[in-house]
Amino acid sequence: MAAYTPMIQQYLKIKAEYQDAFLFFRLGDFYEMFFEDALRAAQELEITLTSREGGTEERIPMCGVPYHSAPTYIERLIEKGYKVAICEQTEDPTQAKGIVRREVIQLITPGTVMEGRSLHEKENNYLATVTHFSDGTYGFAYADLSTGESRVTLLPAKEEEVLNEISVLGAKEVVISADLDEGLQKKMRDRNVLAISYEEQTGLDEAYSTLTEDLNQDKFKVTVARLFNYLHRTQKRSLTHLQPVTTYQVHQYMKIDYYSKHNLELTETIRSKGKKGSLLWLLDETKTAMGGRLLKQWVDRPRIDREEIERRLSVTGQFMNAYFERKELQEGLKEVYDLERLAGRIAFGNVNARDLRQLLRSLQQIPYLHEILSRTQGEETIDLARKLDYCEEIVDLLEQSIVDNPPISIKEGNIIRDGFNEQLDQYRDASRNGKSWIAQLEREERDRTGIRSLKIGYNRVFGYYIEITRANLHLLKEGQYERKQTLANAERFITPELKEKEALILEAEEKCGELEYELFSEIRDRIKEQIPRLQALAKVVSEMDVLQSFAEVSEERKYVKPEFSDNREILIEEGRHPVVEKVLDSQEYVPNSCKMNGDREILLITGPNMSGKSTYMRQVALTAILAQIGCYVPATKAVLPVFDQVFTRIGAADDLVSGQSTFMVEMLEAKNAIANATQDSLILFDEIGRGTSTYDGMALAQAIIEHVHNWIGSKTLFSTHYHELTVLEDELDRLHNVHVSAIEHQGKVVFLHKIKEGPADKSYGIHVAELAGLPKELIIRANEILTSLEQAKIEEPVPAMPDGTSEVNEAVAPSSGTAQLSFFAEPVKAKKQEFSGKEKNVIEKIRELDILDLTPLQAINVLYELQKKIKN
């Protein structure tokens, strides 16, 4: 250190405290970076890398950005998952004795962004924290610093529960203890967490005690303390906008795991990862940013509280019945700015006068919104109107204090209205009259000297001066003015009277600017005291916005109000997939019904590819989700149970991040459903078993169906290409076959997209290949091979046993309907097998195995041990 210059020593000392962040080190009008920071920043930001002397022989790498454009560069780094420590000069360089004092005033991280491009207006920016307790449970808390909301819960001793909460929130940053399991940390990063941060302090600061007084468990307090301590340490300023922490339980909401949310495309599409084409995109007719955020929260977490669901549906219906009031409400909501984030910026201290004007315009709309709601004649909508707080004190203050069109800067004046402060008015009068006096003096001096080009100007170096061109200098009397400056074509002069007036004007202007800033700060602090009222108002307005959005979509798309059954009945008449229907637009969507009850727990869906099996399954799940967030549903009639969970296994894709094959992903998702589903859950299984060999896949598919049927009892939609499984309708009393119909016309397949009772009679695989555009000669050859193979003997699935297991056969025998072709030249006939005691023991061990809980390595070891027993 001693070899470096004092300034570089200061830099290194500060940098040592922020090793995981870029240090933006203020030097004059630039933020500079040195050493490794400079090398990385130059590459990431594509800026010029230079070097400078630092006291050693080797020059120090350096790069920098102008302070006024720094926010743009900071945003780019944050979006890439980096952190940025802002180090400012904290004393006047002209007053400094030696090196200027500097310190970090804020650490900006992906989870603590307060403004800029990284903060999407209709998405929350969550910072989460995870605490692992000695009993195996996890404390989980999260906050959105920009809105001040924070919540906490306890999760069971399962890593997947933690990862699922992170995924549901889309948390950008997670704060943990350094000793948290490294494997879990890696899985967090795999779930798109941009930054992992560390905080070891779990003692709660007294300043935050009022925010946690409702927390009744020490685990809650420890978890929240880690979160708040991290925020306090990184932001280094007032966080008075933080709202009291609320607790929640995961089981209070419909549980939709990460894979199911992805498969159903609730908030983003599988292909483009964008909002367009998702359920959220369909529903978003919100007019405010805070309404858009609440809508996403509801889609992520549908309710299971029937009373709350019914209340939302009632408000949606009342808005549908009040067309003209709804349209007026939408126009009024367009004038409401983001109250939540405005409150956050007021507390944070980075609000400007234009922000306060936005706040004023928003609050001026509240009486208008109240009046509209009062005309809807609905009990629930009028109750919403009663909750609207006019915040008259804030309105009066802002109307009297802030000018209509203030500048962005809060330190250059012209913010405060005339008449708001007597002292300010006096300064302004002196400034304005002084300038009038200057203009009058200029006219008088022109008349007295006869120099029409004489002018009085001003610059910051010399102040006010009289300027006369060289051509007119001869008209001046000797000693009339005091010479101040000589220019190429003119001379500048001053007079004692002019300097005296200058002192008065400049003092007034200086004091005026200082006083305006003081007044603005006082106004901001007075509003800061009212932040809880603004946040409560924001909640009411955003809920109103979401429910009017539901009404708008429901009326436009002819949705109906769902009913809820107590006997787990599903009756959807003429149901449609909401997003597909919108995307098709002018094309006619083919609706389909779904009926499930105590006698129809599982629907086994067969039919050709591209016929609409997956769409049909998804539309049932989306209908249930729409109902449980409080929206009407796309059908002519809908009776539904309240589902506690939705599980899906739809689509095939390798998990390249964790190195898992399509089949392994398929099995993991199936295991998740089987391990966690209840009788009140909804399961969608699409083509289970297709990722392995035909017989393995068919055996697994049948075993999964039997397990769900015999042991779980969830409402289940199971699509398959294994037509042999359709015989299970005779074996399992609560399973029914349905199929998506298609017809063959002049050698071409025509998909009818209509669900009908019974199994499909044909696969149409070659027809689909033909539609895909495969070469004609290839299609002809495929038909020849199919004709040849259809003459071969066929096999039948293993019959189900009453206890849900399967009888052990050496082969499977003929099925009714279509064929599953044998891969053997001559199928072995089924026969009764006599087993020895040792063999029976091995078979019993096989029966006891839970295959879905075995890793591939464990399975190989078990197989090896069993083989040894047989051979011995």
pLDDT per position as a tens digit, 516-549? 999 999 999 999 999 999 999 999 999 999 999 9
Lowest mean pLDDT among 38-52, 604-618, 668-682, 803-817: 803-817
Contacts of 845 (CB under 8 A, 6+ apart): 866
Between CA 231 and CA 237 the distance in angstroms is 9
Of 263, 128, 280, 292, nearest in space to 194 by CA: 128
What are the backbone angles phi and psi of residue 466, rounded to the nearest 5°?
-105, 125
pLDDT band for 651, please (50, 70, 90 cuts).
low
Structure tokens of 20?
A: 């995981």
Looking at CATH, the fold of the domain delimited by 284-391+530-556 is given as MutS, DNA mismatch repair protein; Chain A, domain 3 (1.10.1420)
Q: Calculate what percentage of the chain has a pLDDT beyond 70.
A: 89
Residue 596 has pLDDT above 90, yes or no: yes
pLDDT attached to residue 545: 98
Of 133, 124, 152, nearest in space to 248 by CA: 152
Between CA 729 and CA 285 the distance in angstroms is 44
pLDDT band for 798, please (50, 70, 90 cuts).
very low
Q: What is the per-residue pLDDT across 89-109, written as a single tens digit (0 to 9) for each?
A: 998 887 888 889 999 999 999
Between CA 112 and CA 312 the distance in angstroms is 32
pLDDT attached to residue 234: 94
Looking at CATH, the fold of the domain delimited by 563-763 is given as Rossmann fold (3.40.50)
**Contact call for residues 570 and 680 (beta carbons, < 8 A):** no
Lowest mean pLDDT among 70-74, 499-503, 641-645, 736-740: 499-503
Between CA 622 and CA 626 the distance in angstroms is 6
Total-model pTM: 0.82
Contacts of 291 (CB under 8 A, 6+ apart): 333, 541, 542, 544, 545, 546, 549
Q: Say which residue, 773 or 467, is predicted with more confidence.
A: 467
Task: Check the annotation: does 607 bind a ligand.
Answer: yes
pLDDT band for 400, please (50, 70, 90 cuts).
very high
Structure tokens of 831?
A: 């026969």
Task: Check the annotation: does 609 bind a ligand.
Answer: yes
Of 736, 594, 715, nearest in space to 643 by CA: 715
pLDDT attached to residue 109: 95
Structure tokens of 545?
A: 């916005």
CATH for 127-252 (3.40.50.720, 3.40.30.10, 3.40.50.10800, 3.30.420.110): 3.30.420.110
Q: What is the mean pLDDT of residues 663-667?
A: 78
pLDDT attached to residue 128: 97
Task: Check the annotation: does 610 bind a ligand.
Answer: yes
Strand order across the beta sheet in which 30-34 lies: 50-52, 60-66, 30-34, 22-27, 84-89, 102-108
Between CA 509 and CA 412 the distance in angstroms is 10
Where are the extended beta strands (E) located within 367-525? 455-459, 463-469, 482-486, 490-494
pLDDT attached to residue 815: 38
Q: What is the per-residue pLDDT across 7-35, written as a single tens digit (0 to 9) for each?
A: 999 999 999 999 999 999 999 899 999 99
- 3-state percent helix, strand, coil for the chain, nearest multiple of 5: 45, 20, 35
pLDDT attached to residue 801: 45
Of 711, 708, 666, 703, nearest in space to 799 by CA: 703
**Contact call for residues 682 and 623 (beta carbons, < 8 A):** no
Q: What is the mean pLDDT of residues 67-86?
A: 94
Between CA 749 and CA 417 the distance in angstroms is 75
User: What one-character DSSP code corresponds to residue 94?
Assistant: T
433, 436, 437, 440: CA torsion to nearest 10: -160
Q: What is the mean pLDDT of residues 560-574?
A: 95
Task: Check the annotation: does 7 bind a ligand.
Answer: no
Where do we find the tokens 């959220």? 280
Task: Check the annotation: does 614 bind a ligand.
Answer: yes
Between CA 669 and CA 677 the distance in angstroms is 12
pLDDT band for 834, please (50, 70, 90 cuts).
low
Task: Check the annotation: does 710 bind a ligand.
Answer: no
Structure tokens of 850?
A: 């839970």
Q: Which residues lie across from 74 on neighbouring strands?
A: none
Q: What is the per-residue pLDDT across 311-342, written as a single tens digit (0 to 9) for each?
A: 999 999 999 999 999 999 999 999 999 999 99
Taking residue 552's Cβ as centre, other Cβ atoms within 10 Å add up to 21
pLDDT band for 480, please (50, 70, 90 cuts).
confident
pLDDT attached to residue 2: 66
pLDDT band for 293, please (50, 70, 90 cuts).
very high
The alpha carbon of 4 is separated from its chain's Cα centroid by a whole number of angstroms, namely 45
Lowest mean pLDDT among 161-170, 183-192, 707-716, 751-760: 751-760
**Contact call for residues 493 and 466 (beta carbons, < 8 A):** yes
Lowest mean pLDDT among 267-281, 424-438, 658-672: 658-672
Give the residue ranges of DSSP H helices in 140-278.
Answer: 159-169, 182-190, 218-235, 258-264
Q: What is the per-residue pLDDT across 159-177, written as a single tens digit (0 to 9) for each?
A: 999 999 999 999 999 999 9
pLDDT band for 817, please (50, 70, 90 cuts).
very low
Where do we find the tokens 């009744």? 216
Structure tokens of 640?
A: 């539904």
Contacts of 280 (CB under 8 A, 6+ apart): 266, 267, 268, 295, 296, 299
Question: Mean pLDDT score of the chain, rounded to an integer?
Answer: 87
Between CA 309 and CA 314, with CA 312 as vertex, the angle to 5 degrees is 110
Between CA 555 and CA 543 the distance in angstroms is 18
Q: What is the mean pLDDT of residues 166-195?
A: 92
pLDDT attached to residue 206: 84
pLDDT attached to residue 116: 80
Contacts of 390 (CB under 8 A, 6+ apart): 363, 366, 367, 370
Architecture of domain 422-524: Orthogonal Bundle (1.10)
Of 210, 161, 163, nearest in space to 190 by CA: 163
Pairing of strands 563-564, 637-640: parallel
600, 602, 607, 613: CA torsion to nearest 10: 110
Between CA 709 and CA 732 the distance in angstroms is 7
CATH 3.40.1170.10 fits 6-108, yes or no: yes
Structure tokens of 34?
A: 């040195």
Between CA 649 and CA 656, with CA 655 as vertex, the angle to 5 degrees is 165
Residue 749 has pLDDT above 80, yes or no: no
**Contact call for residues 541 and 336 (beta carbons, < 8 A):** yes
pLDDT band for 661, please (50, 70, 90 cuts).
low
**Contact call for residues 800 and 706 (beta carbons, < 8 A):** yes
